[in-house]
Amino acid sequence: MSTDSRLATLLAEYQELEQKLADPGIHADQALARKTGRRFAELSPIAKTAGELDQTRQDLDAARELAAEDPAFNGEAEELEARIPALEERLAELLAPRDSNDAKDVILEIKAGEGGEESALFAGDLLRMYLRYAERHGWATEMLDSQESDLGGFKDVAVAVKTRGIPDGGNGVWSRLKWEGGVHRVQRVPATESQGRIHTSAAGVLVTPEAEETGEIEIDPNDLRVDVFRSSGPGGQSVNTTDSAVRITHLPTGIVVSCQNERSQLQNKDRALRMLKAKLVALAEEQAAAAAGDARRSQVRTVDRSERIRTYNFPQNRISDHRIGYTAYNLDLALAGDLDGVLDALAEADRKARLAGEDQLSRG
């Protein structure tokens, strides 16, 4: 599809969405209204820039006609002509293929890796870093499941991160946190180290876009095996005297999810299903891209935890992202939730790749 055809298609969709949102009846279905609003917000910058470009071109034609009769209008014509390349570049950037999940909320999982208690403590540090980053952006967070370690870290933790309202320009949580999937390595003197030696350990991070509530994916109950068990805390101590924890196995794919945070078995099952749906959507997108031979299928690939993406070096107060060669000596600020430096660098690298028509930056 040519650029002009793509623009015409998107502008027609924008007008259609505008009409839908003007209908009060759409708000009877909050999930549909939210999905429609997100898409409208995603297309708004395109419609605005295209409109501004068209108006500038019309004004330029008018200024040139006037300048032919009165040279005093030459300056205005030159000024309008100088604006057009920047608007064309901006529109081309907006029309470049983008990640269709950018407006979505996410489910973020952190799992301790090799390194025992130190890895679990680092997983806790990563969790706090993301929670603080979410707070800075005004996002809502919801703990879905967690398994604490003996020293207060996390063996495994899952949290939902959501925008409040409609994300500006269609840039939701996924558009920022999608880069975080992979192995995060830490270099520091562990709290458990008595000799003061620097150790290296790691934790795996998985980020998946949360499935929409409007039937994005349907799960056949016959495809599920649901097991219940008793929740347990650090050291095997019981935190619940009933079998309220839930483990769900999706038989066709073998995907397993579990939740034990709530005392209600029903609540744990609902949360586990949310996690399962997100994983199934990511898997379906990955398979569809692979079947189509999509060279940019990295945008929907699930995390390969064998790929080390970032190192957190405490002695040097250094954070390094190995995918783009990014290094900064502000680890303390990053752990406090100031992640925009590294995330902006990753987004810029991806933007350049998209404009060049190359494969998107890998996210693990």
Predicted pLDDT at 80: 95
Helix (H, G, I), strand (E, B) or coil at 224: strand
Instruction: Report d(CA 116, CA 118) in Å as an integer.
Output: 5
DSSP letter at 329 equals: S
User: To the nearest whole percent, how much of the chain has pLDDT over 70?
Assistant: 87
pLDDT recorded at residue 350: 87
Q: What pLDDT, on the 0 to 100 scale, is given for residue 213?
A: 67
Lowest mean pLDDT among 48-52, 189-193, 223-227, 243-247: 189-193
pLDDT score, position 225: 94
CA dist 166 and 213 (Å) reads 15
Cα gap 364→361, rounded to integer Å: 9
Q: Are 80 and 56 in contact (CB under 8 A)?
A: yes
Per-residue pLDDT band for 214 (boundaries 50, 70, 90) equals: low
Residue 191 has pLDDT above 80, yes or no: no
What pLDDT score does 186 carry?
94
- Beta bridge partners, 229, equal 245
Q: Compare 335 and 231 and report the one with higher pLDDT.
A: 335
Residue that has been written with the tokens 């150790």 in this structure: 199
Angle, nearest 10°, between helix axes 3-22 and 74-95?
Answer: 80
Question: For the chain, how long is the longest CA-to-CA vector?
Answer: 90
Which pLDDT belongs to residue 230? 79
- Percent of the chain scored above 90 by pLDDT? 55
Which has more pLDDT, 116 or 216?
116
The better pLDDT of the pair 152, 91 is held by: 91
- The per-residue pLDDT for 237 is 44
| C-alpha–C-alpha distance, residues 223 and 217, integer Å | 13
Q: Which residues contact 230 (CB under 8 A, 6 or more apart)?
A: 238, 240, 241, 242, 243, 244, 245
- Segment 250-261 mean pLDDT: 92
Residue 303 has a pLDDT of 36
pLDDT of residue 38: 85
User: Which of 153, 99, 133, 47 is CA-nearest to residue 353?
Assistant: 99
Question: What pLDDT, on a 0 to 100 scale, did the predictor assign at position 141?
Answer: 96
Nearest to 96 by CA among 290, 296, 283: 296
Residue 98 has pLDDT above 60, yes or no: yes
Q: For residues 327 and 320, what is the distance between their CA atoms, to the nearest angstrom? A: 4
What was the pLDDT predicted at 58?
96
Q: How far is it, in rounded angstroms, from Cα 116 to Cα 149?
A: 9
Give the model confidence (pLDDT) of 44-71 as tens digits. 999 999 999 999 999 999 999 999 998 8
Residue-wise pLDDT for 320-364, tens only, equals 999 999 999 999 999 999 999 999 999 999 888 877 764 455 544
Give the pLDDT confidence score for residue 300 in this predicted structure: 31
Average pLDDT over residues 5-27: 92
Please give the pLDDT value at position 217: 77
Q: What is the pLDDT of residue 364?
A: 45
pLDDT for the residue numbered 285: 79
The residue whose two tokens read 């809502």 is 140
pLDDT tens for each residue of 121-176: 999 999 999 999 999 999 999 999 998 988 889 999 999 999 988 777 878 999 99
Q: Is the pLDDT of residue 295 over 60?
A: no
Q: How far apart are alpha carbons 341 and 246 in whole angstroms? A: 39
pLDDT at 32: 87
Q: Two tokens at 3?
A: 């650029």
Report, as an integer, the average pLDDT of 202-210: 93
Tell me the pLDDT band of 215, cut-offs 50, 70 and 90: low
pLDDT: which is higher, 296 or 346: 346
Angle between helices 74-95 and 340-355 (to 10 degrees): 100
